[in-house]
């Protein structure tokens, strides 16, 4: 593995920026000017001195070897994280060997921090391994807490059933007039009932009447699925274990990733963020080259902060992941990592559009509330279809339409340009709304291209 | 609905009945499958839940639409990977909002033009996924368009057909990109010329003109009579490249055109041909206006401007109506001299060389008018000797101040000289007159600046700093220097990076700002050097 090979792209670096201002400030610093004594090591450390307004340059060091995301240290007074100096240095490093040459040994100040950091990580790991049993200090108290919560969720689900029945009795047409407020209030009741999953679903109902033609069908579908979830909770004792776990996860009850750790060479297929006012959610899709499994890592950041976990698309890491409980659940947690991420040479195997929809259909059996499944499509051509776009199989007459959200993104045009009318391999999410492309590979040779 | 496709084997009527009942409410409409005594809303929700999951699970792909025709092959070699990354960075850097001090960081967007020019010189193809960002950049900055579109290549034209935001690329693609037929296939050429869109026809004509001037003129002649006036104007303009004596008959004929603009353009082109009949007619007219008077102590040029603009003059492109605020007679006179072959004057003025002619005194304040017209003629006829004479010595006092020839005219005159001569003249100018007037002149010098010019600019900046002014008085020149100085000159700047001790009379803090400005200059030059190195054909292929 050469150092040159694992350098990130500017996009990957800029994805770490906590906000637009730091992104801009970081870009400005991503040039050789203010930097001196910059270097990088094979172990994944990047360091440099950045001249600021003071007489003493800032000492900036970044550890990119850790799969749980890069770690930063900078002697500047900024409270942003990572600061513009860390972003600038990473950009400089991403730019090529000229400005951040590979060196054998980091300077002392960087070395010290790295050593301390690695040590703490090791300690945490050993404590974590032995500490899992001590975590549940008092199983009896925990059981009582869970019971109390179950009672509140049951009350919430019962109330929600009542509200849905009232809605259907009066007709959905009335819901159009009732507007957003009604749903907001109901959602707040579900938050009180400690059922965040129900609350989120109810909140989304509020937006449907304004979502354009066909809204009654979508509103009925979503109401029916909430009803199904309520009923699943109320009769959870009678459900098979796996489905019961899925219901609990969909309601929003806490669970821990207690599945057996799977060690594999995990390809990073996609990484993208969605944000609302309070929370940034980062989704990272992984594909296990040997197990053939697809796993989803979730990472959260409070408003204005990037989630900490960052895995650039196109890399692969040797690591363990453990699944969360529930039938058809792909969510997993990243465990021990055995080597720093390195460029992936393999691509995930793909399927046809017909196989993709079949896969979604099958997944619904385990989890009827599933909106989409991750799928890699093989040999598809992005094809204009009226105002919309679809991915058409090159060998058959079948195609998957893109979701409205995917059509509006700039990634669509990168995909079209990459294809140039020729078949490409596309990873994305396939569901009842259509297909959302996230990453693509050109025919023949060529690196993964991020579309999100 | 947005689902991939409608499930095939679900009876649609049952679902529609459910939706209708849900819309109206179960108080008004009993949902299907609801027996008496059952809670109608719950039955409806139960049924809808089963149907929803069933419908989703039964989704099939949609039929494929007509696939786009594949993009044409781009035969150019791919960019080295380091250069591809650099391009990504240059394209991500959007120009900043607001003004203010720029600090020490380079403005990446300003480097894009040079990057594109070099990539085009070396003949690389862009990574396909960068095309949307390239097209967006070209859309926002028209000055970037020609280079960006040339680099973007045939696939960008293919892409632009699919996105109305990029339609400009179809109009603006130099040479029409992939749209041009093989120029050696007369049938294809004829077909495109007869049936093509206007932009395609202009592109075709320009492409042929570039290779075979006569063939382009002949092609144009085949349809000339039937073209619309504004199209004739554009087509005629394409003859500007490769203009030669063989074009004269065609242009003479165009002097009788119905459209005044076409006539004016034809006249302008003819006057740029010193051997043309039009040029000879103009020479006769101008000759009667200018004479040498030997009656005084020294020979002096006297000017007798025309008293009328007759039909013959108008036919030869002289515009009769003077713009507001200009005397008619001097207006006509200027046009006559501008269209007169410069070779006429030595014979008319006692066998003197251009330099001697320019040095002659001119009676009655006609010098400004006469010299300005000679400047325009020298530019139009691309006459280096006259340009040199009119430019004069760069260190002459009048070169920097108000003189017979303005800075704008000097800039145009410099354009007729070779790049080395140009750089030397501008360097000499800066050495004498400093930077404040030099901006316009620097803009026309070839990039990277030749060594004497670069040295003159750096020295002048150094002098300006020592004089105690602020660097932003020179921000225009600084910006140019960042883009145009030869990166190998970086070592010359090392001594300027430190913050100097502030002298008593200097502007407060200026030293620090100058150090910052020079740091940015050095940073930018280093970055440009790195950029160019990455674009070396052999680099980036590994160790």
Q: What is the pLDDT of residues A78-114, one digit of tens each?
A: 777 788 888 888 888 887 666 788 887 888 888 888 8
Q: By CB neighbour count within 10 A (0-12 exposed, 13-18 middle, 19+ buried), where does A431 fall? A: buried
Which residues of chain A make contact with B28, given a CB cutoff of 8 A?
171
User: Can you give the C-alpha Rg of chain A in angstroms?
Assistant: 24
Averaged over B161-176, what is the pLDDT? 75
Token reading at A427: 């990873």
Q: What pairs with residue B184 in β-bridges?
A: none
Residue-wise pLDDT tens digits, A241-276: 999 999 999 999 988 888 899 999 999 999 998 887
Residue-wise pLDDT tens digits, B438-472: 888 888 888 788 888 888 888 888 888 887 777 77
Mutation pick from A22, A396, A413, A450 vs chain B, by most beta carbons of B within 10 Å, is: A413
Which residue spans within B88-155 are E strands per DSSP? none
- Residue B100 reports pLDDT greater than 50: no
- Residue B179 reports pLDDT greater than 70: no
CA distance A209 to A225: 17
The Cα of B207 is separated from the nearest Cα of chain A by a number of Å equal to 26
Report pLDDT for B174.
47
Token reading at A303: 């408003």
Measured CA to CA in angstroms, residue B353 lies from A52, B278, B349, B390, B528 at distances of 60, 24, 9, 12, 45
Q: ipTM > 0.90?
A: no
The Cα of B309 is separated from the nearest Cα of chain A by a number of Å equal to 59
Token reading at B467: 């004089």
Are B159 and A416 an interchain contact pair (Cβ–Cβ within 8 Å)? yes
The Cα of A213 is separated from the nearest Cα of chain B by a number of Å equal to 8
Element (H, E) at B303: strand B300-303
What is the DSSP code string of A294-349?
EEEEEEEEETTS--S----TTEEEEEEEEEPSSTT--BEEEEEE-S--EE------
CB proximity A387 to B under 8 Å? no
- Compare CB distances from A227 to B49, B63, B106 and report the shortest one's residue: B49
CB proximity A276 to B under 8 Å? no
Are B22 and A171 an interchain contact pair (Cβ–Cβ within 8 Å)? yes
Instruction: Kindly state the percentage of chain A with pLDDT values over 70.
Output: 92
- Residue B10 reports pLDDT greater than 50: yes
Q: Which residues 344-363 of B have a C-beta within 8 angstroms of A? A: none
CA distance B396 to A399: 75
Instruction: Report which listed range, B17-21, B230-234, B240-244, is most confident.
Output: B17-21
Say if residues A99 and B530 touch (Cβ distance below 8 Å). Answer: yes
Chain centroid to CA A280: 10
- Residue A358 reports pLDDT greater than 70: yes
Element (H, E) at B335: helix B328-339
With vertex at residue A38, the alpha carbon angle to CA A35 and CA A40, rounded to the nearest 5 degrees, is 150
Averaged over A120-147, what is the pLDDT? 69
Total-model pTM:
0.74
Q: In terms of C-beta distances under 8 Å and separation of at least 24 residues, what long-range contacts does B257-260 make, across chains too?
A: B257/B232, B258/B229, B259/B229, B259/B232, B259/B233
- Residue A287 reports pLDDT greater than 70: yes
Report pLDDT for B102.
56
Q: Which distant-in-sequence residues (6+ apart) come within 8 Å of B449 by Cβ? A: B423, B457, B484, B485, B486
Which residues of chain A make contact with B40, given a CB cutoff of 8 A?
168-169
Q: How confident is the model at residue B542 (pLDDT cuts 50, 70, 90)?
A: very low
- Residue closest to A331 by CA, chosen among A403, A255, A418: A255
Say if residues B306 and B329 touch (Cβ distance below 8 Å). Answer: yes
Averaged over B372-401, what is the pLDDT? 86
Residue-wise pLDDT tens digits, A196-246: 999 999 999 988 888 888 899 999 999 999 999 999 999 999 999 999 999
CB proximity B93 to A under 8 Å? yes
Which residues of chain B make contact with A398, given a CB cutoff of 8 A?
60-64
Among A301-305, B45-49, B197-201, which stretch is predicted with the lowest mean pLDDT? A301-305
Residue-wise pLDDT tens digits, B256-297: 888 888 998 899 899 888 888 998 999 999 999 998 888 888
CB proximity B41 to A under 8 Å? yes
Report pLDDT for B402.
62
Which residues of chain B make contact with A217, given a CB cutoff of 8 A?
1, 19
How many residues are recorded in chain A? 452
CA distance A330 to B448: 57
Residue B101: other Cβ atoms inside 10 A: 11
* Peptide bond connecting B448 to the previous residue in cis, omega within 30 degrees of 0: yes
CA distance A87 to B105: 14
Mutation pick from B1, B64, B178 vs chain A, by most beta carbons of A within 10 Å, is: B64
Residue-averaged pLDDT of chain B? 84
- Residue A45 reports pLDDT greater than 80: yes
CB proximity A290 to B under 8 Å? no
Say if residues B76 and B101 touch (Cβ distance below 8 Å). Answer: no
CA distance B208 to B183: 7
- Compare CB distances from A360 to B46, B59, B128 and report the shortest one's residue: B59
- Compare CB distances from A383 to B57, B68, B534 and report the shortest one's residue: B68
Averaged over A166-178, what is the pLDDT? 84
- Around A163, how many Cα atoms within 13 Å sit in the side-chain half-sphere? 20
Report pLDDT for B176.
44
- Residue closest to B540 by CA, chosen among B80, B1, B30: B80
Core vs surface per residue A256-269: b (16+ CB within 10 A) or e? ebebeebebbbbbb
The Cα of A263 is separated from the nearest Cα of chain B by a number of Å equal to 32
CA distance B65 to B137: 31
């Amino acid at each position: 593995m050469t150092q040159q090979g694992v350098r990130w792209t500017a996009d990957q670096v800029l994805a770490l920026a906590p906000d637009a201002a730091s992104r801009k400030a970081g870009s400005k610093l991503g040039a050789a000017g203010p930097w001196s004594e910059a270097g990088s090591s094979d172990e994944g450390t990047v360091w440099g001195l950045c001249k600021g307004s003071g007489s003493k340059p800032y000492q900036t060091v970044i550890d990119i070897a850790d799969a749980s995301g890069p770690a930063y240290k900078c002697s500047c007074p900024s409270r942003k994280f990572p600061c513009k100096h860390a972003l600038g240095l990473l950009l400089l490093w991403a730019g090529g060997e000229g400005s951040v040459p590979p060196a054998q040994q980091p300077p002392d100040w960087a070395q010290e921090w790295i050593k301390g950091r690695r040590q703490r990580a090791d300690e945490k790991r050993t404590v974590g391994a032995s500490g899992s049993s001590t975590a549940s200090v008092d199983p009896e108290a925990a059981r009582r807490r869970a019971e109390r919560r179950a009672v509140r969720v049951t009350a919430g689900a019962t109330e929600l059933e009542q509200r849905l029945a009232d809605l259907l009795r009066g007709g959905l047409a009335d819901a159009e007039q009732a507007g957003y407020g009604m749903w907001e209030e109901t959602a707040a009741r579900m938050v009180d009932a400690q059922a965040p999953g129900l609350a989120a679903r109810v909140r989304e109902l509020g937006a449907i009447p304004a979502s354009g033609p066909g809204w009654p069908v979508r509103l009925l579908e979503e109401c029916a699925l909430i009803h199904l979830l309520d009923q699943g909770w109320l009769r959870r004792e009678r459900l098979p274990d796996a489905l019961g776990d899925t219901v609990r996860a969909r309601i929003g009850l806490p669970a821990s990733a207690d599945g057996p750790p799977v060690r594999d060479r995990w390809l990073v297929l996609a990484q993208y963020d969605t944000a609302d006012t309070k929370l940034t959610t980062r989704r990272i899709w992984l594909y296990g080259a040997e197990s053939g499994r697809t796993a989803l890592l979730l990472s959260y950041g409070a408003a204005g902060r990037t989630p900490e976990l960052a895995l650039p698309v196109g890399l692969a890491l040797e690591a363990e992941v453990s699944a969360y409980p529930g039938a058809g659940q792909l969510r997993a947690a990243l465990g021990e990592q055995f080597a720093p991420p390195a460029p992936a040479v393999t691509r995930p195997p793909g399927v046809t559009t017909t196989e993709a929809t079949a896969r979604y259909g099958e997944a619904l059996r385990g989890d009827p509330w599933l909106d989409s499944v991750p799928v890699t499509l093989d040999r598809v051509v992005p094809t204009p279809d009226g105002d919309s776009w679809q991915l058409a199989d090159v060998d058959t007459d079948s195609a998957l339409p893109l979701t409205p959200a995917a059509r509006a993104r700039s990634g669509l045009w990168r995909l079209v340009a990459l294809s140039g009318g020729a078949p490409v391999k596309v990873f994305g999410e396939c569901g009842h709304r259509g297909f959302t492309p996230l990453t693509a590979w050109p025919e023949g040779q060529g690196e993964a291209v991020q579309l999100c | 609905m947005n689902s991939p496709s409608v499930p095939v084997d679900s009876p649609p009527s049952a679902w529609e009945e459910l939706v209708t009942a849900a819309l109206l409410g179960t108080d008004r409409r009993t949902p299907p499958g609801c027996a008496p005594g059952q809670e109608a809303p719950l039955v409806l929700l139960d049924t809808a839940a089963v149907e929803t999951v069933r419908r989703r699970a039964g989704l099939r792909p949609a039929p494929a639409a007509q696939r786009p025709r594949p993009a044409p092959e781009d035969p150019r070699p791919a960019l080295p990977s380091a250069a591809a990354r650099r391009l990504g960075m240059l394209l991500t850097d959007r120009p900043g909002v607001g003004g203010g001090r720029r600090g020490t960081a380079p403005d990446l967007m300003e480097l894009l033009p040079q990057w594109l020019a070099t990539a085009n010189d070396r003949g690389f193809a862009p990574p396909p996924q960068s095309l949307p960002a390239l097209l967006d950049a070209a859309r926002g900055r028209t000055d970037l368009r020609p280079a960006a579109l040339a680099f973007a290549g045939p696939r960008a034209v293919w892409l632009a057909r699919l996105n109305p935001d990029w339609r400009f690329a179809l109009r603006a693609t130099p040479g029409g990109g992939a749209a041009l037929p093989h120029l050696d296939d007369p049938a294809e050429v004829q077909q495109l010329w007869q049936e093509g869109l206007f932009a395609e026809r202009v592109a075709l004509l320009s492409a042929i003109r570039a290779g075979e001037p006569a063939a382009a003129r002949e092609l144009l002649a085949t349809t000339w009579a039937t073209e619309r006036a504004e199209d004739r104007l554009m087509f005629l303009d394409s003859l500007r490249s490769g203009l030669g004596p063989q074009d004269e008959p065609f242009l003479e004929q165009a002097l009788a055109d119905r459209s005044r603009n076409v006539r004016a353009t034809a006249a302008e082109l003819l006057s740029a041909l010193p051997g043309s009949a039009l040029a000879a007619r103009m020479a006769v007219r101008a000759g009667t206006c200018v004479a040498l008077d030997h009656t005084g102590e020294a020979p002096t040029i006297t000017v007798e401007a025309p008293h009328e603009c007759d039909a013959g003059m108008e036919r030869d492109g002289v515009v009769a109506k003077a713009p507001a605020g200009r005397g008619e007679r001097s207006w006509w006179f200027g046009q006559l001299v501008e269209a007169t072959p410069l070779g006429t004057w030595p014979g008319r003025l006692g066998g003197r060389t251009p330099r001697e002619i320019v040095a002659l005194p001119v009676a009655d304040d006609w010098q400004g008018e006469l010299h300005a017209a000679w400047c325009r003629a020298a530019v139009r006829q691309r006459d280096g000797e006259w340009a040199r004479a009119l430019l004069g010595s760069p260190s002459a006092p009048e070169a920097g101040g108000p003189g017979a020839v303005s800075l704008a005219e000097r800039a145009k005159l410099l354009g007729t000289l070779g790049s080395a001569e140009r750089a030397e003249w501008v360097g000499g100018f800066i050495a004498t007159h400093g930077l404040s007037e030099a901006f316009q002149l620097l803009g026309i010098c070839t990039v990277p600046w030749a060594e004497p010019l670069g040295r003159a600019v750096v020295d002048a900046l150094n002098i300006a700093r020592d004089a105690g002014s602020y660097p932003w008085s020179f921000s225009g020149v600084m910006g140019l220097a960042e883009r145009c100085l030869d990166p190998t000159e970086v070592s010359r700047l090392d001594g300027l990076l430190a913050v100097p001790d502030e002298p008593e009379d200097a502007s407060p803090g200026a030293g620090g700002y100058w150090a910052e400005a020079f740091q940015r200059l050095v940073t930018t030059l280093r970055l440009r050097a790195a950029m160019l190195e990455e674009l070396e054909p052999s680099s980036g292929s590994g160790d």
